[in-house]
């Protein structure tokens, strides 16, 4: 998935969590590449569930299962859909979409973060960044070796999906492997929604 699509998916997920379902759906459907991905279709299915349209949610998940048989999110949702009431918790989203490789990369990064690398720049975003803010990081391309993300926003499991998309978008903007982007301890003065990005030279 290209960087633009990942950023759009991150924004759509944030809108859906805020119950702005029509805005999230419009964003997904207006992005041709994104609207064909299993992640976006899964999000649309979850929106349908939240709105009470079980048949349409089931149809979307069945489409995902047919086209992407390896997709565990769709298989799990189809098993759950007949057993539970309408509301599917958003915390299920990250569990199905988080790549195992990213988890390994984050663990490696957190281990490496015990050293004290030289800091090139520190940027603070008030909330989840726009595509333009992420792309602005490309000015540091080639100079940055690792990136430390710090935020209380990532403290709960249901935010892990957002963190995954943000990590991948930063990775592409700086042309770094996701394993070079790790989570650090948020400073006490950082607000609950703010995200601090520290660009490191080693």
Six token digits for residue 121:
């720049």
Q: What secondary structure letter does DSSP report for 5?
A: H
Rounded to whole angstroms, how far apart are CA atoms 178 and 169?
9
Q: What secondary structure letter does DSSP report for 20?
A: -
- Reading the chain (202 residues) residue by residue, the pLDDT tens digits are 556 777 778 888 888 887 888 888 888 888 888 888 888 888 898 888 888 888 898 899 899 889 888 888 788 888 877 554 444 444 444 444 444 444 445 444 554 444 445 778 899 998 888 888 888 998 999 899 999 888 887 776 667 777 888 888 898 999 998 888 888 888 888 888 899 999 988 6
Q: What's residue 199's pLDDT? A: 92
The answer to whether 54 and 62 are in contact (CB under 8 A) is no
Catalogue all structural domains in the chain, each as residue range(s) with its CATH number. 3-97 (1.25.40), 100-200 (3.30.1180)
Q: What's residue 114's pLDDT? A: 46
Rounded to whole angstroms, how far apart are CA atoms 174 and 171?
5
For the sheet containing 119-125, what is the strand order?
119-125, 195-200, 146-150, 181-183
Q: How many helices (H) and strands (E) does the chain have?
A: 9, 4
């Amino acid at each position: 998935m290209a960087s633009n699509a990942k950023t759009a998916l991150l924004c759509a997920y944030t809108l859906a969590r805020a119950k702005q379902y029509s805005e999230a759906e419009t964003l997904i459907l207006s992005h041709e590449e994104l609207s064909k991905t299993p992640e976006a279709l899964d999000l649309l299915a979850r929106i349908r569930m939240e709105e009470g349209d079980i048949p349409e949610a089931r149809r979307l998940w069945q489409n995902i299962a047919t086209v992407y048989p390896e997709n565990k999110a769709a298989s799990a949702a189809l098993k759950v859909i007949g057993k539970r009431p309408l509301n599917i918790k958003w915390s299920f989203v990250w569990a199905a979409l988080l790549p195992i490789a990213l988890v390994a990369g984050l663990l490696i990064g957190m281990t490496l973060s015990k050293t004290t690398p030289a800091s090139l720049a520190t940027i603070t975003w008030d909330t989840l960044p726009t595509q333009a803010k992420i792309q602005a990081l490309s000015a540091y391309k080639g100079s940055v070796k690792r990136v430390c993300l710090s935020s209380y926003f990532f403290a709960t499991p249901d935010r892990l999906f957002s963190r995954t998309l943000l990590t991948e978008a930063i990775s592409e903007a700086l042309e770094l492997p996701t394993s070079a982007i790790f989570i650090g301890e948020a400073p006490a003065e950082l607000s609950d929604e703010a995200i601090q990005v520290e660009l490191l030279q080693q």
